[in-house]
Chains A and B, each alone.
Chain A
Amino acid sequence: MAAYIVRRLVWVVFLLFMITLITFVIFSVLPSGDPAVLRAGRQPSPQLIATIRHELGLDKSKPVQFIDYLGDILPFLGHNGVDFGYSYQNSEPVLPAILTRLPNTIFLTAGAVILWLLVAIPVGVISAIKTGSWLDRLFMTLALIFVSAPVYFLGLVVLYLFANDIGVIHLLPGNSAYTNAHGFFQKAKALIMPWCVLAASFAAIYARFLRGNLIDTMQEDYIRTARAKGLSERRVIFRHAVRAAITPIVTLLGLDIGLLLGGAILTETVFNIQGIGRFAYQAITDSDLPVIQGTVLFGAFFIVIMSLIVDILYAFIDPRVRY
């Protein structure tokens, strides 16, 4: 087990290095636009551009630029401390800028995760036990509709119907309410709509997945054994079947949380929440390379770490897994 974790950690470090390299290539080598020109403003003099190029370190060769960047993200190489570099737009250090937006993304993700699990698990279990019933059909039809609905369309429709400023029914705080909200409860209230919208498609996916797994699990021999022992149906379902069927959900959940912590771009954009996703999107619009690199690396970091956690967790929750 320890050897396995060490092996995985080495791989994680390599993975993050490769992601840094690829991100650097995509954003620094591919584009034809010059960040120094963007930064210099309108009709800059060639001297000004040259000065900015020098300040940003763009006059160095690409490999040297890459090593400089590694210095910004690694504590033991860092020349100015670990700050992921400085934004081309406003010279703000990137890492602190990401960290100030992280709580918003975490708040959005956490609420949505709780909501979708609360919906998906009962729906999945009921649908699997009562396969073919009208309830199952209703649930699965709804699930398929939510799987197919794009988040931003759902977001707009919900705002149109329920936002307290422009909605048909003035019910919930609408777009931008989160930015103006203060305190936990006001913020939570402002997030009700984003939570529901973000959770909708995930709840649908998880319910379908759990139902499928549970139906397969109920065919297993050990379920027949449990029934033959004379256990109550409730005990067979919850103690034996659901426990096994829910294990693959952990993988899915880990990866999805990792993905969302890197920024729920679409939801954050529609509801104007200043999270990491919106930050990344803004940076891409501005060709702000250090911020793009920082956010991509940060997002990838969450994905990689969450999949590591999931693999290790598996050894504890699934007795069939041995390392």
Chain B
Amino acid sequence: MSTGTGASDLLHAQDSGIDAIVAGNVGVAARSPLQLFWRRFRKDRVALAAGVFIVLLLLIAILATPIRKLVGAPGPNVQESGALDQFGLPTGPSSAHLFGVDQIGRDIFSRVLAGAQVSLKVAFIGTGLSVIVGTTLGMTAAYYRGWVDTGISRTVDILLAFPVLLLGLGLASACSGAQGCLGGHLQPGLPVVIVIIVIANSPYVARIMRGQTLSLREKEFVEAARSLGASNRRIIFREILPNLVAPIIVYTTLFIPANILLEAALSFLGAGVQPPQASWGQMLADATGIFQSAWWYMVFPGMALLLTVLAFNLVGDGLQDALNPRSGQSR
């Protein structure tokens, strides 16, 4: 948790000071919230393992090209007609193509690696932006109340009533022309997907953060800061924001897997990442036509997607338990 210098930290410092005095002679040190969190989180072996998996996945995505060269796989968009059998059908896993090839002889292993880059970019950039936009809107609405709150909350309500997948499909197809949309500022492909994710998620984040801020702004430490003459901006960023870190982390980890699935769904329906760029959802869409004969084309991208989403969900559950030990959520 952030170590600001606001009144809340002063209060905390006092608390731990008292603890230290009480425990002084016994030699027990006070633990910071971060230490407490880590002590709880590391007991959760499954979440820890999932965390390691995500780190590995990140490394694989970053080092995709060297890894591909190491196993001797061709690039994700290289078409090898030699990899098709005498009937022109794709061949399954072999030493030359670890995960087999698709209808036009592209190596599925290197396409799965390329898909990992897409999914992780969406996961981190899309979710990060949604959380920033949503938190800012939610805190502003709750802190200032009045017409600002009414305006933001009503907009959020309207956005929440939209069918997300339809809205996403619509935006994506509206922007899929060569010129993109909004005068060319929004190009088809990954940028459109990220905009859709921000539009779909930030209303949820805003609503949650508004609720949290509404109760925080009435707390004594905010009153204390205000009576010390702190500006609104200082109260929002130095007093309230640090107290929102725990819910922000929890919701970020909940949104990441959902966003990976949303990108995959959009790409599956042909409205997400544009070919020839590989993505897991689009590979599954391609596999729909031939999965009865080429099971590998369905299994490898599908399992990559499933395991990635599962890992993020496991870490999310673990974080939630560790940050909020009272809740009975998850496993």
Contacts and interface: CB of A to CB of B under 8 A. Distances in A.
Chain A CB within 10 A, most for which of B157, B166, B284, B305: B166
Interface in B264-299: 264-265, 268-271, 281, 284-285, 287-288, 291-292, 295, 298
A195 B148 CA distance: 44
B166 A266 contact: no
Given A160-B295, A299-B166, A284 B271 contact: yes
Contact of A144 (B163, B288, B317, B327): B317
A148 B257 contact: yes
Contact of A152 (B174, B268, B330): B268
A145 interface: yes
B173 A144 contact: no
Interface in B299-329: 302, 305-306, 309-310, 313-314, 317, 327-329
A31 B181 contact: yes
A144 B331 contact: yes
Contact of A287 (B173, B287, B302): B173
Interface string A103-143: 00000000000000000000000001001000001001100
Contact of B181 (A32, A208, A214, A303): A32
A285 B330 CA distance: 39
A15 B158 contact: yes
Given A26-B174, A281-B169, A284-B169, A166 B313 contact: no
Interface string B219-260: 000000000000000000000000000000000000001000
Contact of B269 (A27, A259, A281, A292): A281
Nearest to B302: A153
A215 B174 contact: no
Interface in A289-307: 292, 295-296, 299-300, 303-304, 307
Interface residues of A, number: 56
Given A150-B265, A153-B306, A166-B292, A137 B331 contact: yes
Interface string A145-168: 101111011001101100000100
A212 interface: yes
A32 B310 contact: no
B59 interface: no
Contacts of B157: 15
Given A147-B313, A150-B265, A285-B270, A156 B328 contact: no
Given A148-B309, A153-B298, A160-B291, A19 B327 contact: no
B161 interface: yes
Nearest to A153: B302
B165 interface: yes
B163 A30 contact: no
Given A211-B328, A284-B173, A19 B162 contact: yes
A53 B73 CA distance: 52
Contacts of B310: 144-145, 148
Contact of B288 (A33, A212, A270): A270
B167 A296 contact: yes
B260 to A, nearest CB: 9
A285 B327 contact: no
Contacts of B162: 19, 22, 296, 300, 303
Contacts of B142: none
A19 B268 CA distance: 26
A134 B60 CA distance: 34
A122 B58 CA distance: 38
A203 to B, nearest CB: 16
A303 B265 contact: no
B158 A18 contact: yes
A23 interface: yes
Contact of B166 (A166, A211, A215, A295): A295
A147 B311 CA distance: 11
A71 interface: no
Contacts of B264: 150
Interface in A267-287: 269-270, 280-281, 284-285, 287
Given A30-B182, A265-B269, A148 B313 contact: yes
Contact of A157 (B163, B271, B302, B313): B302
A216 interface: yes
A263 interface: yes
Contacts of A149: 306, 309
B175 interface: yes
Nearest to B163: A299
B174 A30 contact: yes
Given A153-B298, A156-B287, 20 more contacts: A18-B158, A26-B171, A30-B174, A31-B173, A31-B177, A32-B181, A141-B331, A145-B306, A150-B309, A153-B284, A156-B302, A157-B298, A160-B291, A262-B166, A266-B265, A284-B271, A287-B173, A292-B170, A299-B163, A300-B161
Instruction: List the 10 closest A-B pairs by CB distance, nearest first.
Output: A215-B328, A153-B302, A148-B310, A299-B163, A166-B292, A148-B309, A212-B329, A30-B174, A31-B174, A32-B177
Interface of B: 157-158, 161-163, 165-167, 169-171, 173-175, 177, 179, 181-182, 257, 261, 264-265, 268-271, 281, 284-285, 287-288, 291-292, 295, 298, 302, 305-306, 309-310, 313-314, 317, 327-331
15 contacts: A19-B158, A128-B328, A144-B310, A144-B317, A150-B264, A150-B268, A150-B302, A152-B288, A156-B288, A156-B302, A211-B328, A216-B327, A266-B265, A287-B173, A300-B162
